Amino acid sequence: MTSINGREHRVVLEARNITKRFPGVVANDHISFTLHKGEILALLGENGAGKSTLMNILYGMYQPDEGEIAINGRQVTLSGPSEAIAMGIGMVHQHFQLVPVMTVAENIVLGTEITAGPFLARRRADAEIRKISHAYGLDVDPHALIADLPVGAQQRVEIVKALYRNADILILDEPTAVLTPQEADDLFKVMHSLTEQGKSIIFITHKLREVLAIAHRVVVLRMGNVVGETTPAKATEGSLAAMMVGREVLLRVEKTPARAGRPPRANWPWRAGRAGAG
């Protein structure tokens, strides 16, 4: 167990020595970590560090070459996303998996439709979607067309879609990459609401400030390996950046004070004009 906000929480997911190889590269090299109930775990690393490959394994889209996954203490084999969903895992991809010409409700229930005879039970579906939206602070209109929604609203639809399928573990793959600062703040409020009600979140990112602002715990990947684990209380942007790249990083640009003055004579426009006129 681990302590989150002063309360002990059990392990809900454990990755044990996960290894994934592609031709010419080891994307994940014996990666191990745990996720606890009610926790936001930030998985931090540069592009190419192996974060998305690892999450695709946890969602059943890839199969590990070595290692194992345990959900609530039980070892499982995830041969596809449908099995991951059945185990209570939901994933919100960086590029949304939505059908633009369909409504919010149609996208959310797609593949799990509630029917009344041969017809879709729209009122029951709408009621369930509104119930989930209200419970977690997710504002979605079941009747809106996806094509008419801004990016932040489409992301909320993806989260509701996962919750509609009874996800207890949510994987958010670079969720703020497509959001405005205000939309990112709204997402963080939703994430807090989810964890306060017992959901667990893996937050994939390379943005240091967001990690320090939102995460309970941080696991850092570099070149397919886990190179460190810490908490925001014990970390700084500098220490996290150093773990990500393997050396000290200067996070500010050193510049000399600006001074007003005339440009070099060779760059004067009338001199260039004269040179071209000959």
> Tens digit of pLDDT for each residue in 87-112?
999 999 988 999 999 999 999 998 87
Average pLDDT value for residue range 29-36? 97
Give yes or no for residue 204 having a pLDDT over 90: yes
Instruction: Give the per-residue pLDDT at 9.
Output: 79
The residue type at 165: R
DSSP state of 104: H
Q: What percent of the chain has pLDDT over 90?
A: 71
- Alpha-carbon distance of 110 to 223, in angstroms, equals 37
Domains of the chain: 1-88+168-249 (3.40.50.300), 96-165 (no CATH)
For residue 278, what pLDDT is reported? 45
Amino acid 110: pLDDT = 87
What does the block give as tokens for 75? 């070892």
pTM score of the predicted model: 0.83
Place of tokens 């260039």: 272
Rounded-to-integer distance, Cα 201 and Cα 223, Å: 23
**Within 13 A of 229's CA, how many CA atoms are on the CB side?**
10
Element holding 29 (H helix, E strand) = strand 25-36
Closest listed residue to residue 210, CA positions, set 186, 233, 176, 235: 176
Distance, in Å, from the CA atom of 187 to the CA atom of 168, rounded to the nearest integer, reads 17
| Cβ contact 170:9 at 8 Å | no
Closest CA relative to residue 79, chosen from 59, 50, 108, 109? 59
Reported as a single tens digit per residue, the pLDDT across 152-200 is: 999 999 999 999 999 999 999 999 988 999 999 999 999 999 999 999 9
pLDDT interval class at 260 (50, 70, 90): confident
Position 268 scores a pLDDT of 59
pLDDT of residue 87: 95
